[in-house]
Amino acid sequence: MRVVLPYHLRNLAKVSGELTVEASTTRQVLDALESAHPQLRGTMRDPATGGRRAYVRFYACQEDWSHEDLDAELPEPVLAGKEPFLVIGAMSGG
Amino acid sequence: MAGVRVLVGTRKGAFVLTSDEGRREWTVDGPHFAGWEIYHLKGSPVDPDRIWASQSGDWFGQVIQRSTDGGRSWDAVGNDFSYDGETGDHQFYDGSLVPWTFKRVWHLEPSLTDAETVYAGIEDAALFRTTDGGTTWSELSGLRNHGTGPQWQPGAGGLCLHTIILHPTDEQRIVTAISAAGAFRTDDGGQSWLPINKGLLSGEIPQQEAEVGHCVHKLAMHPSRPDTLFMQKHWDVMRTDDAGGSWREISGDLPTDFGFAIDVHAQEPDTVFVVPITSDYLHVVHEGRLRVFRSRTGGEEWEPLTKGLPQENCYVNVLRDAMAVDRLDECGVYFGTTGGQVYCSPDGGDTWEAIVRDLPPVLSVEVQTLA
């Protein structure tokens, strides 16, 4: 499936454009990203709690997926690679 | 040819400023990590091309970056700062108890003898160390657990461990400072710690001579006299000559003794620099004039240094880690402001010139003297 990272995380991971991972849930997406790019550890999930960082959001098929169960299966278009899974830095501050 | 490399951390990235020993012509490289807060960068005394950076932000948390080529390229290393064991609680501003929670790395202090070893001071206050080049970090939990930890309260910037001073010859001795807990010393490599705050008087706290609770803003030491430490406290500039056994005030004739930054001349251990700030409720330089004050007598008697610095309509702050000195024969002094200027004096403070004027707010300044 396809994953789009925000600008700062693409820079941190030293990648450009979309990434491709083998995953069917949000947790698997994050695990795969952190495995392929260890420098992303702690940037999307709080290392102490394992929970999503407050200013990080996940989107799938135009819907906010941030509060879905981490182990819930992602929508079919995302699994099929028709739509990307988006990791977004929330709008906040200046 | 000898030269200097100035490492500047700002609210929106890091900058590397380089010059030859004349310190008049500068090359500016950056921003590195654009958009991130860079609380601190510091190079290894063992391997000057190895530089460490604390990169953080509210969105994506804490990253530690390491360069092995003098700051031209960087790689992220380990960023897991998990406290050792049960964390317990410390006091919040209102005296209620809140659990110890990692927020960011304020200060990185590379070992004087081993390029793989670096100390990190974090918020909420604790001391960490890596001995494997940043891959893993372990807490020296004797500090947080030595007994007074539950009494510690945050300063306005947070409960931060911001100062780490390594003894030049005795690897077992480390001095740290925490806002707003005070100064602490270990003589056994970090296993056990003593509060070293005797003589500090802080009118802002209920018991002004308390063992802990003092808002120490910064400490400085000259390597030739490691038992002498200079302190910029919230209010008061202080000095100890017995490694913190007792402190005495040396504010003397300063126009105000509130401030953040303090440092010691590289060749003259009794020459000290501070930047007086108006007050605890007005964090800008005094009277709209950017003045560094220099004492050549180890305190008490201070002279304003103004040549090349704005003397009207100036309302910037100089933060605690934003002053440094080089080790060239004619000592250079450097500081950065919240207005984005980084100033250099290549003549020990007599004259000043801005290296850059329009960076983001400067959080930290360190200097490497290159052979």
- ipTM of the complex as predicted: 0.94
Return the CATH number of B3-370, one of 1.10.10.10, 3.40.50.970, 3.40.190.10, 2.130.10.10.
Answer: 2.130.10.10
As for how many domains chain A has, the answer is 1
Q: Closest partner residue to A42 among B36, B75, B79, by Cβ?
A: B79
Q: Chain B within 8 Å of A5 (Cβ-Cβ)? A: no
Q: How far is residue B320 CA from its own chain's centroid?
A: 5
A26 in a domain, yes or no?
yes
Structure tokens at B41: 């960068």
Whole-number pLDDT of residue B192: 97
Type of residue at A49 = T
Please compute, for residue B348, the number of CA atoms within 13 A of its CA located in the half-sphere on the CB side.
Answer: 15
pLDDT for B204 equals 83
pLDDT one-digit tens code per residue, A50-66 = 899 999 999 999 999 99
In sequence order, what are the beta bridge partners of B54?
B40, B64
- Sign, CA dihedral B118-B122-B127-B130, equals negative
pLDDT at A47: 85
Order of strands, sheet of A63-64, starting from the edge strand that comes earlier in the sequence = A19-20, A2-4, A85-89, A56-60, A63-64
In one-letter notation, the amino acid at residue B353 is E
Residue A41: give its domain's CATH number: 3.10.20.30
Q: What is the extent of the structural domain holding A70?
A: 2-89
**pLDDT beneath 50, residues of chain B:** none
Q: How many CB atoms lie within 10 A of CB B27?
A: 11
Residue A55 within any structural domain of the chain: yes
The pTM of the whole model exceeds 0.90: yes
Give the pLDDT score at A82.
97
Residue type, B275: V
The beta-carbon neighbor of B76 closest among A12, A56, A89 is A12
- Chain B residues with CB under 8 Å of A57 CB are none
pLDDT mean over A14-19? 96
Contacts of A39 in chain B (CB under 8 A): 63, 75-76
A15 CA: distance to closest CA in chain B (Å): 13
Our CA angle for B309, B311, B314, nearest 5°, is 90
Question: Does residue A13 fall inside a structural domain?
Answer: yes
Phi, psi of A78 (to 5 degrees): -70, -45
Q: What is the DSSP code string of A37-94?
A: -GGGTTTSB-TTT-SBPTTEEEEETTEE-TTS-TTSBPPHHHHTTSS-EEEEEPP---
Using DSSP's 3-state secondary structure scheme, residue B310 falls into coil
Q: DSSP string spanning B201-232?
A: --TTSSSTT-SS---EEEEEE-TT-TT-EEEE
By DSSP bridging, strand B104-110 and strand B97-99 are: unpaired
Residue A94 lies in a domain: no
Whether B345 contacts B366, CB under 8 Å: no
Task: Please name the residue of chain B whose CA is at the shortest distance from the CA of residue A91.
Answer: B59
Distance between CA atoms of A51 and A66, rounded to whole angstroms? 11
Residue B334's nearest CA partner among B317, B354, B315 is: B354
Please check whether residue B114 is in contact with residue B45, taking contact to mean a CB–CB distance below 8 angstroms. Answer: no
Asked if residue A40 is part of any domain, the answer here is yes
Strand partners, B196: none
- The pLDDT value given to residue B235: 96
* Residue written as token pair 């005797």: B198
| Residue B361 DSSP code | P
Q: What is the pLDDT of residue B1?
A: 62
Test B57 with A9 for CB contact under 8 angstroms: no
Q: Which of A10, A14, A43, A49 to mutate to test the interface with B (most CBs of B within 10 A)?
A: A43
The burial of B308, by beta-carbon neighbours within 10 Å (0-12 exposed, 13-18 middle, 19 or more buried), is given as middle
Is the peptide bond preceding residue B124 cis, with omega within 30 degrees of 0?
A: yes
Instruction: Note whether A36 contacts B: Cβ–Cβ < 8 A.
Output: no
Q: Using 50, 70 and 90 to split pLDDT, how confident is the model at A93?
A: low
Alpha-carbon Rg for chain B, nearest whole angstrom, is 19
User: A8 vs B76: CB contact, 8 Å cut-off?
Assistant: no
CA B161 to chain centre: 10
